[in-house]
Structure formats: structure tokens, C-alpha cells
């Protein structure tokens, strides 16, 4: 495994001015990183894709969600949440625009800068997904509840509460009516999206399960574990069909905050952890094949993997676009 030194830690980066919103980016001649002014004040908590090229939707601790063009540095729109942190976000192009979850306990469906508010949780909303038929928004919260909302009327269709199930993340299994959900009670659960009936609970782990993703084939779930000083901190693989734990990928020293299957791959997983570390894992060989640290960026909070091989990371100190080339070199290309 080859390690690559982050160009953000290079000497030349200290002499780079940030470009303003809408201005041409400043570029460090040595490391070729385009740097824009920070889009959010404080931590960027979550990311989702945008239908437009070179744009991403971000949610932050500052109470804003933005649509940002990382090619031009323009913020295309702000979605304001009355100063309360945005804790979950999902692309909802087919039903209006963007769905957000917020610390104010509300779910919002945004059409531009106008929102329909779905009020029904009693604690922070930590996860949102949209069913494949676009008729329902499913939201998870620290109040132990998963709620199903009608996307047209905004009405709460049904709600299920599970004791001690403080939800941390949710993901739909492709081509199935199944929802994967992780929790602070250290468990991974499967739910029927049609009626929120519990399908299965996987064996309890030793630490909080913080995040999840599913490969495009829909047969493998990946989750990340909290932990510290190398205890816990693993990436875990779960079989959808046999309902078994396939194995753990170890090597992180701090808790794993986010996991994603590499776009177009069923065999490579990307993880981001509290110690600014990005890792690529070969799940067949059960080993780390590449890693990169992001000095000065703090905890990695979310990831997007793009078909062109690039990976966008949100952190406690902004966002970074990484490019993975055919020589297995990870390069930082844009910071904002």
C-alpha cells in the first residue's frame, strides 16, 4: 500500500489566497489545488449529488444547505434552516429538488429556496431517503422513529418506533423494497419500505454503527463503526441474502463517519474517519489498497463517489474534491 502526502500540508499552500464566490479560483502552482472561499461556516455535515455538472448540494452546521458549483465557485442557491444545523440531505430532483433533515426536528422538501415542512419527529433528523416510486420520504431520527411521509401532501403516513434505536444513517437497497438502517444501539436493521415492518436485525457490534451504504448489485451492505485508538473503528460487510456478517476491515485508528462503494464498483469501498483519513478497501481481499490523509481538514463527515473516479469529501473544515487516477494516485483538485 502506497501512502500519499496531502498537498494541503505543503509549504506553498500557506501562500495561497482564497477565491471569492463567483470569482476565478486561486491556484497554487505547485500543488494545482483550486481554492474557493468556504461555503459554510463550521462543519459541513452532509453531501448529495446534483443533476447539474460540477455542482453539489451541501448541508452545514451553519443552518444552510447550498447548491454549489465547484467549477466556477458560485453558490447557485441557499436553503436556510433558521440557523439550525442541517444533519441529513438527499437529492430529490424527481419530486422537486432537495430533501433535508435538520436539528430543529423537521424534514423539508425544497423547490428552489421554498420548502414544504414535514413536522413529526421530536429530536434531530439524522437520515432521509426517497422511495424509488417517489411517493414517500422516509426519515430517521434520534427519537427512535422512522417516519414515512407522502411527498405530495406532506402528511405523515405511518411511523414506527423501536426502543433504543437512535438512527444514524439509512440507505435503500437497489431494486428491493428494503431499507438499511444503522443505529447508536450498535445494530444494523432491515425494514420493508412499504409498511415499515422489521425484516431483520443483524448481530450487535461492539460500537455505534455510524453510517451505511449498499452496492449497486444490492447484495452487500457496508457500515462504519465508531471507536477510538484503534478499538472499533472498523468497516463491516454484511450479506443481504444470508443475513450474515461477512467480515470486518480494520486499520483505522479513529471512528469511521462515512462509507461509500466506489462508483461503478461492487468490490471497492471508500471510508472517511474522524482523523482526516480517506481509505480505499478491496472487500474481496479484505485489505486497504490506498489511503490519503487530509491535514487541517478535521473529521471527514460524508463522501460522494463520481463515475469519473473523483471523490468529494465534506469535513469539519470545508469540502475537498479528490481525483483518483489510473496510477492509483489521489490528488486534491478543489477546496471550498
Task: Give the per-residue SS3 of 210-250.
Answer: EEEEECCCCCEEEEEECEECCEECCEEEEECCCCCEEEEEC
Burial class (CB in 10 A: 0-12, 13-18, 19+), 161: exposed
Q: Contact 50/79 with Cβ under 8 angstroms?
A: no
**pLDDT given at position 40:** 97
Close Cβ partners of 115 (under 8 Å, ≥ 6 residues apart): 79, 108, 109
| DSSP string over 93-106 | GGGTEEEEEETTSE
Q: Does the pTM exceed 0.85?
A: yes
DSSP code for 207? S
Cα(149)–Cα(159) distance, rounded to whole angstroms?
9
pLDDT score recorded for residue 37: 95
Sheet strands (E) in 226-315: 227-228, 231-232, 235-239, 245-249, 256-261, 268-273, 277-282, 287-293, 300-305, 310-315
User: Tell me, what's the pLDDT at 324?
Assistant: 81
Q: What pLDDT score does 31 carry?
A: 58
pLDDT at 93: 85
Q: In CATH, which of 2.160.10.10, 2.130.10.10, 2.30.30.90, 1.20.810.10 is domain 36-335? A: 2.130.10.10
The reported pLDDT for the residue numbered 327 is 66
Q: How many CA atoms lie within 13 A of 334 on its CB side?
A: 23
Written as tens digits, the pLDDT of the chain (336 aa) is 333 333 333 333 322 333 344 444 554 444 589 999 999 999 999 999 999 999 999 999 999 999 999 999 999 999 999 999 999 999 998 887 999 999 999 999 999 999 999 999 999 999 999 998 999 999 999 999 999 999 999 999 999 999 999 999 999 999 999 999 999 999 999 999 999 999 999 999 999 999 999 999 999 999 999 999 999 999 999 999 999 999 999 999 999 999 999 999 999 999 999 999 999 999 999 999 999 999 999 999 999 999 998 999 999 999 999 998 766 789 999 999
Assess contact for 149 and 155: CB atoms under 8 A.
Answer: yes
CA distance 221 to 16: 41
pLDDT at res. 9: 33
Cell, residue 305: 463517489
Domain residues of the chain, as ranges?
36-335
Query: What is residue 25's predicted lDDT score, i.e. its pLDDT?
Result: 53
**pLDDT at position 96:** 77
Which is nearest to 171 in space by CA: 238, 104, 105?
A: 238
CA gap 111, 296 in Å, rounded: 35
Amino acid at each position: 500500500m502506497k501512502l500519499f502526502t496531502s498537498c494541503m500540508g505543503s509549504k506553498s499552500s500557506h501562500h495561497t489566497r482564497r477565491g471569492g464566490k463567483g470569482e476565478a479560483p486561486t491556484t497554487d502552482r505547485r500543488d494545482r489545488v483550486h481554492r474557493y472561499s468556504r461555503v459554510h461556516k463550521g462543519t459541513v455535515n452532509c453531501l448529495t449529488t446534483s443533476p447539474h455538472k460540477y455542482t453539489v448540494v451541501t448541508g452545514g452546521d451553519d443552518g444552510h444547505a447550498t447548491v454549489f458549483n465547484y467549477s466556477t465557485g458560485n453558490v447557485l442557491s441557499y436553503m436556510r434552516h433558521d440557523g439550525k444545523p442541517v444533519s441529513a440531505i438527499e437529492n430529490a430532483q424527481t419530486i422537486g429538488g432537495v430533501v433535508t433533515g435538520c436539528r430543529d426536528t423537521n424534514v423539508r422538501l425544497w423547490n428552489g429556496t421554498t420548502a414544504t415542512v414535514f413536522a413529526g419527529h421530536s429530536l434531530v433528523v439524522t437520515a432521509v431517503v426517497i422511495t424509488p416510486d417517489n411517493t414517500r420520504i422516509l426519515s430517521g431520527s434520534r427519537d427512535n422513529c422512522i417516519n414515512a411521509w407522502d411527498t405530495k401532501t406532506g402528511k405523515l403516513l405511518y411511523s414506527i418506533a423501536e426502543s433504543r434505536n437512535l438512527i444514524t444513517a439509512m440507505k435503500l437497497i437497489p431494486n428491493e423494497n428494503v431499507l438499511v438502517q444503522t443505529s447508536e444501539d450498535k445494530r444494523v436493521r432491515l425494514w420493508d419500505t412499504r409498511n415499515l415492518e422489521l425484516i431483520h436485525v443483524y448481530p450487535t457490534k461492539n460500537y455505534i454503527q455510524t453510517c451505511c451504504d449498499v452496492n449497486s448489485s444490492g447484495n452487500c451492505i457496508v457500515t462504519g463503526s465508531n471507536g477510538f485508538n484503534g478499538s472499533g473503528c472498523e468497516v463491516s460487510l454484511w450479506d443481504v441474502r444470508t443475513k450474515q456478517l461477512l467480515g470486518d476491515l480494520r486499520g483505522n485508528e479513529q471512528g469511521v463517519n462515512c462509507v461509500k462503494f466506489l462508483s461503478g464498483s461492487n468490490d471497492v469501498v471508500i471510508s472517511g474517519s474522524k482523523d482526516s483519513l480517506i481509505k480505499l478497501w478491496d472487500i474481496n481481499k479484505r485489505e486497504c489498497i490506498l489511503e490519503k490523509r487530509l491535514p487541517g481538514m478535521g473529521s471527514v463527515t460524508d463522501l460522494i463517489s463520481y463515475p469519473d473516479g473523483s471523490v468529494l469529501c465534506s469535513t469539519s473544515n470545508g469540502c475537498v474534491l479528490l481525483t483518483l487516477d489510473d496510477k492509483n494516485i489521489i490528488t486534491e483538485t478543489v477546496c471550498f
